[in-house]
Amino acid sequence: MQIDITHRPGNSAAKVSLQAGESITAEGGAMIAMSGHMQVETTTHKKGEGSVLGALKRMVTGESFFINHFTPAGAPGEVFFGTALSGDMMEYNLNGPGLMVQGGSYVASAPTVNMDIQWQGFGKALFSGESMFLIHLSGSGPVILNSFGAVYPIQVNGDYIVDTGHIVAFEESLTYEVSKVGKSWISSFLGGEGLVCKFRGQGTVWCQSHNAGSFGTALGPSLKPR
Amino acid sequence: MQITINRDGQNYGPYTVEQLQQMLQAGRAKLTDLANYEGAAEWVPLSQIPGVTQAQSTPAAAPIDADTYVPTGQHEHEFRIECKPDFSFLTVQVPASQTLKVEASAMATMSTNMVMKTKMKGGLSRFLGGENIFINEFTAQAGPAEIGIAPGSPGDMDHVFMDGSSEIFLQSSAYVASSMNVDVDSKWQGFKGFFSGEGLFLLRCTGQGDLWFNTYGAMIEVPVDGNYVVDTSHVVAFTSGLEYNVESVGGLKSLFLSGEGLVCRFHGQGKVWIQTRHPMAFANWAYPFRPQQNN
């Protein structure tokens, strides 16, 4: 499997070249184009196993309920993936510690990567209006993630705070706590900062330069009421 | 030697010869800028300053930024596409008394001797059907003129020189501009219906000359030999020689559940241009942010 991320950073697309019989799993709706002999299988779970519960949990994170598996039959093939919003993509080779991915940042992964959903508490998520669901990726193999705007890594050594709307992914080696940024809920809310994630330990956090929720909020008043 | 340059009455610098060479390479200075160095009696074009031109004469091409495209192959009009791939902007040099066809409302800047005429392709009935394309004709009168063209969507742009032997099919919103001898046919119904549901129709471009088209998002050119599948909303253009069917991906389950909608399966030999984003996906994303109606 070969992954090339093209047209960075504004309108990135991921080109995945596969050997005959090799597969890649992607979020529903991510496919832009592909070789004619690509076989597509739609499931609610990881290829060959999984459960409906997993799919339900995935739907709650803002990911599609269904995931697609792409496999070229008989000869090598290619598939392009894109996203709805403008922005960058990154490839990460999972090997050892797992990765926590913000709901909505997941694009695709090798079939050797396991997906599981972690839920961060309903009340907090409602309060902030930001999705506080994380996809836990474990196992080994390549993973493709997308960001709204540019994506940049931050090496955490000790502790560090990131706004929940700017998190793309982080290494499992970090412990995290979702909390308010100010002293009280009121000041956090009025300050417009909502919820932040406090990371502790050693590891990498990948951040996106822009917060999609903030962009939507800025756009909203100019749109026709529904 | 310290050199001061002057453009449009404004002084810049002073710079060394090395700095000026770098600025020329990057396109930030022009050989036609006026220059003056200490001890010189008068302002002269930068090209006449010793040491500046020599460095310029080695690379034949004009200095261009990495994100600017100037034609290297066959073309009818001189042009450049700047700010690729995210905010592509086209500038075309139109020779005296020649005319360029441009998508309506895409003109951003132009010389004062450029004269515009509006043409409606397809007639009133198609206009009412929402399937129209207005093309404006820009003619350079009394001397050559320049026109700057900015498509509605931010994204990439490509140029094709049509030699008269093949046709190009364009998704209608992708059309940007073309030479007069390129015929843009919107009445043509050949593939219509295939795209139903996606709100698209195709333009058939034939003839000889330049054709420019744009995308929302970046553009990927895919050579097809055999069989290739593209999501219908990501199709920008394709060459004649390719046939296609519209179908769903995978089986019946995938049709409703994969989230991939309909795809075009191309077969034959040719080229397909695809876009990495599409406006409908963005509009769908923005939908929940619309304010609620007060009743």
Read off the pLDDT of residues B207-258 as tens digits, 9 standing for 90 and up: 999 999 999 989 999 999 989 999 888 899 999 888 888 877 765 555 555 5
Question: Binning pLDDT at 50, 70 and 90, where does residue B295 land?
Answer: low
| Per-residue 3-state assignment (H helix, E strand, C coil) for B106-128 | CEEEECCCEEEEEEEECHHHHHH
A52, containing H or E segment:
helix A52-60
Burial class (CB within 10 angstroms; exposed 0-12, middle 13-18, buried 19+) of B237: buried
**Which of A42, A79, A105, A148 is most worth mutating to test chain B (most B CB atoms within 10 A of its CB)?**
A42
Q: Å from B171 to nearest chain A CA?
A: 16
pLDDT for A190 beyond 60: no
Q: Is B88 helix (H, G, I), strand (E, B) or coil?
A: coil
**CB nearest to A11's CB, from B217, B229, B257:** B217
Select the residue of A42, A217, A226 nearest B250 (Cβ to Cβ).
A42
Q: Tell me the C-alpha distance between B174 and B156, whole Å.
A: 10
Hey, are the CB atoms on B272 and A84 less than 8 Å from each other? no
Q: Whole-angstrom Cα distance, residue A189 to residue A183?
A: 11
Q: How confident is the model at residue A118 (pLDDT cuts 50, 70, 90)?
A: low
Q: Please judge whether B272 and A33 are an interchain contact, meaning their C-beta atoms are less than 8 angstroms apart.
A: yes
Q: What is the mean pLDDT of residues B19-42?
A: 77
The token duo for A172 is: 């499992």
**A92 vs B189: which has the higher pLDDT:** A92
Please report the domains of chain A, with CATH numbers, ordered by start residue.
Answer: 2-222 (3.60.160.10)
Exposure string of B156-180, with b = 16+ CB inside 10 Å and e = fewer, is bbbbbebeeeebbbbbbbbbbbbbb
CA B221/CA B271 separation, integer angstroms: 7
Residues of B in contact with A40 (CB under 8 A): 249-250, 254, 258, 260
pLDDT score for B121: 58
Query: Is the separation of the CB atoms in B222 and B228 below 8 Å?
Result: yes
Count the Cβ atoms, other than its own, within 10 Å of residue A225.
11
Tell me whether B248 touches chain A (CB under 8 Å).
Answer: no
Q: How confident is the model at residue B41 (pLDDT cuts 50, 70, 90)?
A: confident
CA within 13 Å, CB half, A49:
6
**In order of start, what are the domains of chain B with their CATH numbers?**
3-57 (3.30.1490), 78-283 (3.60.160.10)
pLDDT of residue B125: 47
State which amino acid sits at residue A129: G
* Integer Cα distance of B290 and A223 in angstroms: 5
In DSSP terms, B41 is beta-bridged to none
Closest residue in A to B85 (Cα–Cα): A7
CB < 8 Å to A221, chain B: 291
Q: How far is CA A186 from CA A111, A165, A192, B17, B180, in A?
A: 44, 19, 10, 60, 64
Render pLDDT for A132-142 as a digit per residue (tens, 0 to 9): 567 889 999 99
| Inter-chain touch B230–A224, beta carbons under 8 Å | no
pLDDT band at A194 (very low <50, low <70, confident <90, very high): low
The residues in B 97-156 lying below 8 A from A, measured between CB atoms, are 155-156
**How much is the pLDDT for B270?**
92
- pLDDT of A89 reads 93
Q: Does the CB of B10 have a partner CB in chain A at under 8 Å? A: no
CB atoms B277 and A80 under 8 Å: no
Cα gap B267→B261, rounded to integer Å:
20
In this structure, are residues B208 and B162 in contact, taking their beta carbons and an 8 Å threshold?
yes
CB B180 within 8 A of CB B98: yes
Set of chain A residues whose Cβ sits within 8 Å of the Cβ of B218: 6-7, 10-13
| CA distance, residue A69 to nearest chain B CA (Å) | 10
Token pair listed for B58? 């080695």
Nearest to A42 among B230, B253, B275 (CB): B253
Is residue A96 less than 8 Å (CB to CB) from chain B? no
d(CA A122, CA B121): 55
Q: Is the CB of B289 less than 8 angstroms away from the CB of A85?
A: no
Closest CB to A38 among B86, B229, B294: B229
Residue B295 touches partner A, C-beta closer than 8 Å = no
Confidence tier at A124 by pLDDT (50, 70, 90):
very low
Secondary structure (DSSP) of B157-222 = EEEEEEESS--EEEEGGGEEEEETTEEEESS--TTTTTTTTTT--EEEEEEEEEEEEE-SB-EEEE
